[in-house]
Amino acid sequence: MAVDLGKQKPKLHRQLAMAGPWPMAVAFLADGKLAAGDQDGRILIWDMAAAPSSPVAGSKSQSAPSSTPIRMLVGHTNGVSRLCASPDGRRLYSASLDHSIRVWNLDSATTGEAETIVEPQSEQDKKAKKPEPTVKVPTQEAEKVLAGHGDWVSALALSADGKRLISGDYGARVIVWDAATGAEVVRWSGLPWNWIFAVALTSDGGTALVSESRYKRDDFDVPAAAVRLWDATTGKEKLDLLKVQFPKYDPQAASYEASQTWRKYVSHGIIAAAFSPDDKTVALAVAGENDKGTAHLHDVATGKLLRDLGSHQYGMTDVAFSADGRYVLTTGRDTCLRVTNVADGKEALQLGAPRGGQFKDWFSACARSADERYLAAADIAGWVQVWATDAK
């Protein structure tokens, strides 16, 4: 049942504790379940229906209950960068800095048990140097490991029909996979110096958006970023959005001056991308750190910039469309999840509040459940924040 997300008043429903390395990715699964992955490669699954646990004694930052994770997905040996769930919510795809992509079948049985730290330690216990509390969680291994990347796999997306998976790494390589078999469909490379920051697929998996960037080699040696649409079946370039936007854009120039043509638009990189449900537009989330990050909304057919959506101080981290395509959800380094009206660019909701001192904590990723009953954000302070809407 369709909801008007912008008219909701979501309430903080769960603060799922994920102490230790930073949570970096989050995805909703079938049956009210949720997955999050962290910077060490750990993936935890929670059931929203599970009994809530009592908040940590003396915690100032916890105002909603957590619960114990029901599974831990093991195998990654370095950070999880992105998580995608299949349309039926029964498979999970994870991209990792360990150069691999793993496919997890959530219906398969668990294979073991592990002790892991999830609850943040109370201040008193920390002061007393007590060992951090652990819980026992059943573990599961991957159904498949997709090898083919030679560097950090930093970007991952699944087509809405669930048939095609696309991934990109820090060696400029992009691979399109058959999601069912794990076979490679096509691969191509971006500009050789670049890192793939973000990928997205249209609902049928036919067209890909790929954002490439890299950190400068020196103040005066700034290789060009790129944002392009590709034919995801043949690996041929279809449209260069930066060329459309900036006629003077020269991808071969690495000088400081040349970088000024695209620098403001790209800032620290287009860190996330999402096609609208009708595939007519694509939203590009701008990472920042220095400035505000917005989301550029482009027309897919012409590549033209339609408008900017939303704003996060110090940059965005993730972007997703609402089911009806009327809103974008964004997270950022301002400790907020924001819901912005696509038609007029006005902010409809702000979830979370800036925290910290001069620099805020990050919400590193966002997700919404298929039925839009829940919205979630991965919070580097060691939480997965979950809000409940009024949707039934």
Partner 1 sequence: MHPQCPTHEHLSRRAMIKGTLATASGGLVMNWGGLTSAAGPVEEVKKRKKHCILLWMNGGASQFETFDMKPGRSTGGLFRPISTNVAGTQVCELMPKMAQKMDRIAVIRSMRTSEIDHPGGIYLMHTGYRPSATVRFPEVGAIVAKYHGTEQSDLPNFIKVSTQGDAGAGFLGPTYQPFGIGHRGDLPQFSTSQIKSDVELRRHNLRSFVESEFTRERANDPARMHREAYESARRLQGAQQAFKIDAEWEKHRELYGDSAFGRRCMLARRLVESGVPFIEVGQSSYDSHADNFSWHKGLVPPMEHAWAGLLTDLEQRGLLDDTLVVWTGEIGRTPRINNRAGRDHYVRNWSTALAGCGVKGGLVYGESDADGFDVKRDPVTEGDFFATIYQALGVDPTIENMAGSRPVPLAPFGAKVVESLLG
Partner 2 sequence: MKRYETILRVCATTAIFVGSFNAEATAAEGLRDVIDREVEAAWQREKITPSPPADDAEFLRRVYLDLAGAVPDYDETVAFLADKDPAKRAKLIDRLLDDPRYAQHQADVWDLLLFTRSPPGYDTDKREHFQTWLRKQFAENVPYDQWAGAILRADGNTVDDGPPMFYVQYKSKPEDATEAITQIFLGVQLQCARCHDHPYEPWKQVDFYGMAAFVSRLDVVTVGKAGQMNKYAIGERPSGDILFTGPAKDQQPGMKGEPIGPKFLLGDAVKEPPLPKDFKEVKFTPNQPPPAPPFSRKNELVTWVTGDSNPYFARAAANRVWAQYLGRGIVHPIDNMSPSNKPTHPELLDVLARELAGHDYDLKWYIRELVNSRTYQRSSRGGSGAELPQWFESARTRPLSAEELAESWRTVTGYAAAEKLSGKKPETSRFRPLEGGYVLRFFGKPYNGVGDFQGGLHEHLYLNNGPLGTVISSAKGSLQDALLTGSESSDAKVDRLYLSLLNRPATESEREKIAAYVAGGKPDERWREAIWAIITSSEFRFNH
Residues at the contact surface with partner 1, assessed by CB under 8 A = 22, 39, 78-79, 97, 170, 195, 214-221, 254, 268, 289-290, 333, 356, 358-359, 361-362, 380-381
**Shortest distance, CB of residue 219 to partner 1, whole angstroms?**
4
CB contact set of 392 (below 8 Å; sequence gap of 6+)? 1, 373
**Shortest distance, CB of residue 281 to partner 1, whole angstroms?**
28
60 binds, among partner 1, partner 2, none (CB under 5 to 8 A by kind): partner 2
188 binds, among partner 1, partner 2, none (CB under 5 to 8 A by kind): none
- Rg of the chain's alpha carbons, rounded to an integer? 20
Cβ–Cβ under 8 Å, residues 117 and 61: no
Nearer to partner 2, 19 or 232 (CB): 19
Nearer to partner 2, 16 or 381 (CB): 381
Nearer to partner 2, 68 or 335 (CB): 335
382 binds, among partner 2, partner 1, none (CB under 5 to 8 A by kind): partner 2
Cβ–Cβ under 8 Å, residues 297 and 283: yes
* Binding stretches for partner 2 (CB under 8 A): 22, 60-61, 120, 355-359, 361-362, 379-382
**Shortest distance, CB of residue 348 to partner 1, whole angstroms?**
28
**Shortest distance, CB of residue 58 to partner 2, whole angstroms?**
13
Nearer to partner 1, 158 or 377 (CB): 377
Distance CA 284, CA 293 (A): 10
Distance CA 188, CA 109 (A): 36
**Shortest distance, CB of residue 356 to partner 1, whole angstroms?**
6
Of 76, 82, 94, whose CA–CA distance to 285 is shortest? 82
- Is the C-alpha dihedral spanning 282, 197, 271, 93 positive or negative? positive
Sequence-ordered strand ranges (E) for 235-392: 237-240, 270-275, 281-299, 305-321, 327-332, 337-341, 347-351, 363-368, 374-379, 383-388
Nearer to partner 1, 178 or 221 (CB): 221
195 binds, among partner 2, partner 1, none (CB under 5 to 8 A by kind): partner 1
